[in-house]
């Protein structure tokens, strides 16, 4: 079985400060990793995903994430956040066989002016 | 704009009274998904359609059914809602799906179900 752990349920950060949202997964097989964002009253949308290749993945809105196989992590980072980044962020994992797609419980990012 | 639409956004039903949630898409995607998201929990995949092929997650209760009459529409039927079924229900689509879960999923805004 797989699980996804988002260690922080809430992250407040001041505008223009850097932020890191943490995600760890458990799996004994190769996985695919995703970060989705949900703005208030909107559906989830993809920020970025890791399928293979370079472990540093760049996404939309200046976000990036690094796949670390030895630490089974896929942390999301942004060097300078904006008020508009206030949202719920979900890490997710899937694998290349079977009907399995798992989300984490989400991290609520609040950017403080 | 191409999108995923869920109606209604808020649904109230009574304990044991069947309810149907709707999802439509203008993306012409092959795959449609239904997720259940309870308060402060992760969205949980209930089932998905790859074209007309229905795929049920092993732990999805029998109380939950789905229909996909055509490419654009997918319905979630809850035959006898219990209090524990109160949640946000998310519909999503992806272009292909094939046998690996690498595709980007496109989500609707969700329907919040209240069971009285």
Q: How far B9 CA sits from the closest chain A CA (Å)?
A: 10
Q: Is A43 on the interface with B (CB under 8 A)?
A: yes
Per-residue pLDDT, averaged over A73-101, amounts to 89
Q: Please, how many CA atoms are within 13 Å of residue B50, restricted to the half-sphere of its CB?
A: 11
Q: Please report the pLDDT score of residue B99 as a whole number.
A: 59
Which is higher by pLDDT, B5 or A29?
B5
Q: Please report the pLDDT score of residue A41 as a whole number.
A: 82
Angle at B39 between CA B34 and CA B42, to 5 degrees: 55
Residue A100 has pLDDT above 90, yes or no: no
Closest CA to B106 of A36, A29, A73: A36
* A5 → chain B, closest CA residue: B42
Q: Could you tell me if B33 and B23 are in contact, meaning their C-beta atoms sit under 8 angstroms apart?
A: no
Determine the CATH number of domain B4-102: 2.60.40.10
Q: Residue B73: is it exposed, middle or buried by C-beta count within 10 angstroms (0-12/13-18/19+)?
A: middle
DSSP 8-class letter at B105 = P
Q: How many CB pairs under 8 A join A and B?
A: 61
Low-confidence ranges of chain B (pLDDT < 70): 1-2, 97-100
Residue A57 has pLDDT above 70, yes or no: yes
Instruction: List the CATH number of the domain containing A34.
Output: 2.60.40.10
Residue A1 has pLDDT above 60, yes or no: no
Q: Please report the pLDDT score of residue B3 as a whole number.
A: 92
Domain with A80 in it: 3-112
Enumerate the domain spans of chain B.
Answer: 4-102
The beta-carbon neighbor of B101 closest among A46, A94, A105 is A94
Q: How far B58 CA sits from the closest chain A CA (Å)?
A: 10
What's the structural domain count of chain A?
A: 1
Q: How far A2 CA sits from the closest chain B CA (Å)?
A: 13
- Specify which of A21-30, A47-56, B53-62 reaches the highest per-range mean pLDDT: A47-56
- 8 Å CB contact of B108 and A102: no
Q: Please report the pLDDT score of residue B57 as a whole number.
A: 86
Q: List the B4-7 sheet strands across, edge first.
A: B4-7, B19-25, B73-78, B64-67
């Amino acid at each position: 079985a797989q699980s996804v752990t988002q260690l922080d349920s809430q992250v407040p950060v001041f505008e223009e400060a850097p932020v890191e949202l943490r995600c760890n997964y458990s799996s004994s097989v190769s996985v695919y990793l995703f970060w989705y964002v949900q703005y208030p009253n909107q559906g989830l949308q993809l920020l970025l995903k890791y399928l293979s290749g370079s472990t540093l993945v760049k996404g939309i809105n200046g976000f990036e994430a690094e796949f670390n196989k030895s630490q089974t992590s896929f942390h999301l980072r942004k060097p300078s956040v904006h008020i508009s980044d206030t949202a719920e962020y979900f890490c997710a994992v899937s694998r290349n066989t079977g009907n399995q797609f798992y989300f984490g419980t989400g991290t609520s990012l609040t950017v403080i002016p | 704009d191409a999108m995923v639409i869920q109606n209604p956004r808020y649904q109230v039903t009574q304990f044991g009274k069947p309810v149907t949630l709707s999802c439509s898409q203008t993306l012409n995607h092959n795959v449609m998904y239904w997720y259940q998201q309870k308060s402060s929990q992760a969205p949980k995949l209930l089932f998905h359609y790859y074209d007309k092929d229905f795929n049920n997650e092993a732990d999805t209760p029998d109380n939950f059914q789905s229909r996909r009459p055509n490419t654009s529409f997918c319905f979630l039927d809850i035959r006898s809602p219990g209090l524990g079924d109160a949640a946000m229900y998310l519909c999503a689509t992806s272009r292909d799906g094939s046998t690996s879960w690498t595709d980007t999923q496109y989500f609707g805004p969700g329907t919040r179900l209240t069971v009285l």
